[in-house]
Amino acid sequence: MLLTFPSTGELVLRRPTRALTQAERLSAEIQELIASMFETMHTAPGVGLAAPQIGMPLQLAVIEDRASYMEKLSAAHLAGRRRAPVAPHVIINPTLMIAGSEEAEFFEGCLSLPGYTAVVRRGLKVQVDCLNERAEPVTIQAEGWYARILQHEIDHLRGTLYIDRMHTRSFMTRETYERLWKDVPVADVLKAIGDV
């Protein structure tokens, strides 16, 4: 079942979420919600979807970065972002730790702010401790684009949107990004718009 997205400004996108209880984690309702979240994310399309984005204040997100999303991207683009396919998985009640001090700046978009993008600085490597869809504890070590996806989705669980972290002068429509900036190094974009 496809789910709807609350509009930016609705409180569910701006408040911290609550942890799923032990009883909820394996419940039929949560398992159905997970399936609907994957379907909604794929239809959008997106690479991650957190429960607040569909109006549920729960510490739950689904993630998948499909190889088909990368087919039209250059090898240099993929290498620069350290982007590779990520298998579908679920994170429940996650905790995030930035690993090391390396950071990277790239354009990000969000299903909660359709049609827009901006440059966001994120940690290059992370560790996430969480439960999977079977309520089993897992530790995820991620870097590059996958680390960015995890940080973005876990931000949603804390009531934070990428616009709270963006270089404000880099905020633009997706159409403008595609037309003018998609092949320009981020450092050059920031210099050109006067945000360095």
Average pLDDT over residues 87-114: 96
pLDDT tens per residue across span 121-150: 999 999 999 999 999 999 999 999 999 999
Question: Domain of 66?
Answer: 11-103+120-159
Which position has the higher pLDDT, 77 or 86? Answer: 86
Average pLDDT over residues 64-80: 92
User: Alpha-carbon distance 186 to 106, whole Å?
Assistant: 6
Does some domain include residue 3?
no
Cα separation values, 134 from 1, 30, 60, 181, Å: 21, 11, 13, 42
Cβ pair 188, 170 in contact under 8 A: no
Does some domain include residue 76?
yes
Report the CATH number that the domain containing residue 91 is assigned in CATH.
3.90.45.10
- Asked if residue 189 has pLDDT above 70, the reply is yes
What is the pTM for the complete model shown? 0.95
Known catalytic membership, residue 178: no
- Burial class, 39, CB count within 10 angstroms (exposed 0-12 / middle 13-18 / buried 19+): middle
pLDDT tens per residue across span 8-28: 999 999 999 999 999 999 999
Does some domain include residue 24?
yes
Cβ pair 105, 42 in contact under 8 A: no
Does some domain include residue 1?
no
Which amino acid, residue 32?
E
Does some domain include residue 154?
yes
Q: Which of 32, 71, 153, 178 is catalytic?
A: 153
**Nearest to 154, CA basis, from 168, 175, 167, 140:** 140
Percent of the chain with pLDDT over 70: 99
Does some domain include residue 170?
no
pLDDT tens per residue across span 155-184: 999 999 999 999 999 999 999 999 999 989
Tally of domains in the chain: 1
